Amino acid sequence: MTISRDDVAHLGRLARLELSEAELDHYAGQLDVILQSVARISEVTAGDIPPMSHPVPMVNVFREDVVRPSLSRDEVLAGAPAAEDDRFRVPRILDEE
């Protein structure tokens, strides 16, 4: 398994990373080396072993459905890069046409 520049560019698009040309070369080489070293885990025959997503076996931890104080709108918007009319201001989401 080798990772090409195009693969890295595709992964960058999936992860919303605008990678530079130099980064594409750099990461393609490094990811190859990293993947080769982690690929050793495929040596282990583990088809019948249940996968473990989490160290503590617990499901559906609920709390009472009661109203509690929360952050004020001003506190939340204070950290925003841009705000307008008590809302987050974001770049355009729809295409022009």
Partner 1 sequence: MSDLIRQPAAVLAAAIASREVTAVEVTQAHLDRITTVDEQVHAFLHVTTESALAQARSVDLRIAAGEQLGPLAGVPLALKDVLAMKGEPTTAGSRILEGWRPPYDSTVVERLRAADIVILGKTNMDEFAMGSSTEHSAYGPTHNPWDLDRIPGGSGGGSAAALAAFEAPLAIGTDTGGSIRQPASVTGTVGVKPTYGGVSRYGQIALASSLDQPGPCARTVLDTALLHAAIGGHDPMDSTSIDAPVPGVVEAARRADVQGMRIGVVKELGGDGYQAGVAQRYAEALEVLQGLGAEIVEVSCPHMEYALGAYYLILPSEASSNLARFDGMRYGLRAGDDGQRSVEQVMSITREAGFGSEVKRRIILGTYALSSGYYDAYYAQAQRIRTLITRDFDAAFAKVDVLVSPTAPTTAFRLGEKLDDPIAMYLNDVATIPVNLAGICAMSLPVGLAPEDGLPVGFQIMAPAMADERLYLAGAALEAALVDEWGHHLIEEAPAL
Residues within the interface to partner 1 (CB under 8 A): 3, 7-8, 11-20, 23, 27, 30-31, 33-35, 37-44, 46, 49-56, 58, 61, 63, 71, 75-76, 78-82, 88, 90-93, 95
Q: With respect to partner 1, which residue has the nearer C-beta, 67 or 79?
A: 79
Hey, what are 11's tokens?
């992964």
Smallest separation, CB 63 to partner 1 (Å): 6
CB of 49 to partner 1, least distance (A): 4
DSSP designation for 39 = G
**Cα gap 3→36, rounded to integer Å:** 11
Read off the amino acid at residue 54: H
Euclidean distance between CA atoms 87 and 74, whole angstroms: 10
